[in-house]
Amino acid sequence: MSESVLVQGAASGGGLPDPLPTGPPPVSRRGRTTSRWRGLALNLLSAVLGIGIWWGFAASGYNLPTPPEVASRFVDLIRAGTLQEDVFASLRRVLIGFALGVAAAVPVGFLMGWYPIARGLLEPWVQFFRTIPPLALIPLTIVLMGIDETPKIFVIFLAAFLACVIATFQGVVSVDRTLINAARVLGAGDLTIFRRVVVPASMPFILVGMRVGLGSSWATLVAAEIIGAQEGLGHRMQNAQLYFDLPTIFVGVISIGVLGLLMDRALLVAERRLTVWQERR
């Protein structure tokens, strides 16, 4: 803006002219609430449509149980206490394997992204195991670890670790070098830069990696519970397969999907709280 315009504005008693807006107007709380309710309504509509399509296929002669049949089996399993035991066993395995995987992946990813020597030493092994599906290691884990809980948790751990370590590494190497250089100019040491710049800037990548790792953990669960399991959703589905018990299989599939969805939504809430500074659309 030219100096004459500023002088004219001041001389007219209006002071400096108002600055032009530089971004979209902030969304009001009412607007956010309306958007949230609209999203929930769309989710509910999607669920109803999905159940309707499923019921239509079952009624058309496909070899599928109807929703009422699955609901009846769901109630029977709950009354017998079987479903609760299976859910608890599977949830315990996923949570332990996922937590251990994330706990190992985050520091390894930071080391790979921050220190070139660590990257040169660790990245080939990470990429090597990333090309091997965790399920392909099940025979090896049985031979080395037996058939108790350890091999089941290990393959889930590996699935979560490989997804999260790559996301963490990518988050560290994607940090804007301008921010790091500016912090160094202001006198910050490596520890301060790492804690105040690198970790916050990498947090969105880490949380996305955690969500991907969680999905991989649940995807690995059914195969992991083949290893001598006596309880669990995957074990129950394997037994139901032997007797062509489709309603029980559907109960297991739906239970895994619902549990995975709830855990993913919990991570999504954590992501929004930990990255409030991030611009969103």
- Residue 238's domain is classified under what CATH number? 1.10.3720.10
Q: Is residue 281 part of a domain?
A: no
* Domains held by the chain: number: 1
Give the count of beta carbons closer than 10 Å to the beta carbon of residue 73. 20
Q: How many CB atoms lie within 10 A of CB 100?
A: 17
Q: How far apart are CA 226 and CA 238, in angstroms?
A: 8
Q: Is the pTM for the entire model greater than 0.75? A: yes
In a domain, 257, yes or no: yes
**Residue 87 located in a structural domain:** yes
pLDDT, tens digit (0-9, with 9 covering 90-100), for 168-197: 999 888 888 888 888 888 887 778 888 888
Q: What is the mean pLDDT of residues 25-36?
A: 63
Which residues make Cβ contacts (< 8 Å) with residue 204, sequence separation at least 6?
Answer: 171, 271, 275, 278
Give the structural domain span for 207: 65-274
Contact predicate 210/267, CB 8 Å: yes
Within a domain: 85: yes
At which residue do the structure tokens 């449509």 appear?
49
Can you count the helices (H) and strands (E) in the chain?
12, 0
* 9 within a domain of the structure (yes/no): no
pLDDT higher than threshold 90 for residue 37: no
Confidence of residue 14 (pLDDT cuts 50, 70, 90): very low
Exposed / middle / buried, residue 70 (Cβ in 10 Å: 0-12, 13-18, 19+): buried
Q: Is position 49 within any domain?
A: no
Q: Does 142 reside within a domain? A: yes
DSSP state of 231: S
pLDDT tens-digit map of 106-165: 999 999 988 889 899 998 998 898 888 877 888 888 888 877 888 889 999 999 999 899
Range 217-246 average pLDDT: 84
> By CB neighbour count within 10 A (0-12 exposed, 13-18 middle, 19+ buried), where does 128 fall?
exposed
Q: What is the pLDDT of residue 2?
A: 43
Q: Is residue 194 part of a domain?
A: yes
